[in-house]
């Protein structure tokens, strides 16, 4: 080891002498030689110290009650992936009974098991398994991400949160609020919109600020909960002539264009635009002969009971952040707003059906938005509020609207408690008061989340 080091030092010295091109004074040369000599002595001492510590069975020498240890020791010699677990526990203390999807008062809403590591010099792998009473074990996300493509390109393959809108790309347990905004739940799903496929993104800055274009092609466009509060799902789903993915036109596609500006060192603004489209199988039916008023499947000429309908979604979001650098542990502000509009095509029914035949998929245009703000009160306490609005659908009585407030307490970076109150005026039925308590905890080296 020492021989190798001394040889390297000799080669470096010879090389350095050979490459020195600037005229040096004698004093300067002496000074450099002295510095090199000190540096080599220090390096030799450090190497010896390393060898001594490695060779000793007993603990290293104590200095001031603390042990100096080289930082170069391997920290993960088995190359194991990082393993983290995130628990999301919700208590519903609403006065009129549980308002959770599970209808429980105390619910372990989900446990996420996250594993991640570099696969090789070209890919990183991230896998997140969701465990819940409702869904059992499910693949929440699982994707490979390229790490070394040129031109600031990145490709992701697998299942992931579709890059549509701002909050949709954040896991539910890590939101500032207890649930996704209503517009996301309605148009993309209660757990946000996910897709399995390919995503390509490119970063650029032709105007001096950050811009990113994200494009995805996914197996199936994320479907929101397009049936409304109080409305029952149809008893049948129907079978289309061919699955949506038979042609490339039937896949889901999304695009997101991010623009980010630093206003000053404490303040920044992001304004982004999203769009998506895909074809979804929706049933059609005819009035039952036996039970008048009820719909039942009535196959088309080729036996199909569903049609492929195109659904498109556009959105825009803006996020303003303020966090003074020096007082950043204690003061910060986030203001965020997002608006989405969904358009549903109504496909023509097959010919030859009875006169009572009707298309049962969504046909309305739906628009929704939310405005969210969060103010940091102390190092561990935050106060937030959100206003939600989703326009009335054809069958609904009125627009959905909700006002909610949140008090967040972070005992540490790895645990969070949120007390939330929401006054919800659903599109059908009575106004609901909701009182929720969420506890989230993360164990293991869970990777930080994107800004």
Contacts with other proteins in 251-270 (CB under 8 A)? 258, 260, 262, 265, 268, 270
Calculate the alpha carbon distances from 140 to 125, 223, 232, 441 in Å: 14, 16, 27, 18
For 240-262, give one letter per residue: b (16+ CB within 10 A) or e. bbeebeeeeebbbbbbbebebee
- The Cα 182–Cα 237 span in angstroms is 24
Centroid of chain to Cα 237: 30
CB nearer to other proteins: pick between 182 and 446:
446
Among 104, 234, 310, 323, binds other proteins (CB under 8 A): 323
What residues numbered 397-426 form the site for other proteins, per CB under 8 A? 412-414
What residue ranges in 231-332 does DSSP mark as E strands?
252-262, 267-287, 295-297, 306-322
Tokens 């792998």, located at residue: 125
| Region of 70-78, 232-240, 245-253, 392-400 interacting with other proteins (CB under 8 A) | 70-78
Give, as ranges, the residues between 86 and 145 that touch other proteins (CB under 8 A). 118, 121, 124, 145
Smaller CB separation from other proteins, 97 or 445: 445
Among residues 109, 181, 148, 113, the alpha carbon closest in space to that of 437 is found at 109
Looking at beta carbons only, is 75 or 351 nearer to other proteins?
Answer: 75
Token pair 């391997």: residue: 74
Residues from 188 through 217 that contact other proteins (CB under 8 A): 203, 205, 209-210, 212
Q: Among residues 2, 10, 14, 28, which is the contact residue for other proteins, using CB under 8 A?
A: 28
Residue 381 interacts with other proteins (CB under 8 A): yes or no = no
User: Pick from 57, 71, 290, 348: which binds other proteins (CB under 8 A)?
Assistant: 71
Euclidean distance between CA atoms 17 and 8, whole angstroms: 14
14, 46, 383, 403: which one binds other proteins (CB under 8 A)? 46
Q: What's the token pair of residue 137?
A: 């074990």
Choosing from 10, 14, 39, 137, the residue that interacts with other proteins (CB under 8 A) is: 39
- Rounded Cα gap, residues 37 and 334, in angstroms: 54
Residue 15 Cβ vs other proteins, minimum distance, rounded to whole Å? 8
**Stretch in the footprint of other proteins (CB under 8 A) among 31-39, 171-179, 227-235, 297-305:** 31-39
Please tell me whether residue 450 binds other proteins under the rule CB under 8 A.
Answer: yes
| Binding test (CB under 8 A) with other proteins, winner from 325, 354, 355, 430 | 325
Burial environment of residue 125 by CB neighbours within 10 A (0 to 12, 13 to 18, 19 or more) = middle
Those residues with Cβ within 8 angstroms of residue 317's Cβ, 6 or more apart along the chain or in another chain: 165, 166, 270, 271, 272, 274, 336, 337, 338, 339
Residue number, 359 or 414, with CB nearest to other proteins: 414
Distance between CA atoms of residues 55 and 352, nearest Å: 87
Residue with Cβ nearer other proteins (75 or 78)? 75
Nearest approach, Cβ of residue 86 and other proteins (Å):
14
Give the H or E element holding residue 311. Answer: strand 306-322
Contact range with other proteins by CB under 8 A, out of 24-32, 160-168, 384-392, 421-429:
24-32
Answer for which of 14, 38, 377, 403 binds other proteins (CB under 8 A) is 38
């Amino acid at each position: 080891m020492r021989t190798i080091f001394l040889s390297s030092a000799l080669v470096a010295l010879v090389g350095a002498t050979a490459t020195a091109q600037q005229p040096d004074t004698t004093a300067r040369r002496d000074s450099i030689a002295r510095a090199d000599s000190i540096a080599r002595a220090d390096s030799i001492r450090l190497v010896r110290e390393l060898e001594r510590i490695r060779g000793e069975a007993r603990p290293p020498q104590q200095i001031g009650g603390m042990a100096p240890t080289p930082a170069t020791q391997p920290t993960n010699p088995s190359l194991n992936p990082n393993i983290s677990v995130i628990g999301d526990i919700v208590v519903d203390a609403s006065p009129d009974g549980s308002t959770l999807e599970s209808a429980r008062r105390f619910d372990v809403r989900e446990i996420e098991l996250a594993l991640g590591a570099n696969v090789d010099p070209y890919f990183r792998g991230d896998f997140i398994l969701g465990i819940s009473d409702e869904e059992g074990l499910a693949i929440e996300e699982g994707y490979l991400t390229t790490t070394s493509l040129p031109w600031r390109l990145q490709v992701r393959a697998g299942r992931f949160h579709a890059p549509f809108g701002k909050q949709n790309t954040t896991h539910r347990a890590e939101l500032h609020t207890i649930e996704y905004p209503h517009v996301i739940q309605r148009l993309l799903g209660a757990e946000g919109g996910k897709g399995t496929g390919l995503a390509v993104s490119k970063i650029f800055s032709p105007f001096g600020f950050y811009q990113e274009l994200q494009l995805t092609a996914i197996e199936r466009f994320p479907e929101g909960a397009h049936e409304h509060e109080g409305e029952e799902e149809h008893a049948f789903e129907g079978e289309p002539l061919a699955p949506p993915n038979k042609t490339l036109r039937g896949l889901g596609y999304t695009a997101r264009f991010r623009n980010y500006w630093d206003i000053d060192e404490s303040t920044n603004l992001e304004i982004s635009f999203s769009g998506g489209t895909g074809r979804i199988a929706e049933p059609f039916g005819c009035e039952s002969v036996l039970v008048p008023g009820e719909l039942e499947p009535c196959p088309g000429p080729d036996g199909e009971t569903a049609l492929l309908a195109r659904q498109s979604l556009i959105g825009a979001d803006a996020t303003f952040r303020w966090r003074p650098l020096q007082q950043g542990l204690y003061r910060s502000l986030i203001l965020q707003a997002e608006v989405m509009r969904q358009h549903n095509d109504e496909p023509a029914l097959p010919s030859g059906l009875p006169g009572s035949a009707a298309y049962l998929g969504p046909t309305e245009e739906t628009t929704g938005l939310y405005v969210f703000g969060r103010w940091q009160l102390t190092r561990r306490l935050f106060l937030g509020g959100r206003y939600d609005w989703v326009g009335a659908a054809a069958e609904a009585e009125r627009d959905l609207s909700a006002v909610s407030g949140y008090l967040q307490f972070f005992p540490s970076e790895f645990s969070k408690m949120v007390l939330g109150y929401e006054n919800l005026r659903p599109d059908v039925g009575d106004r609901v008061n909701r009182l929720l308590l969420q506890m989230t905890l993360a164990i293991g080296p869970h990777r930080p989340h994107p800004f």
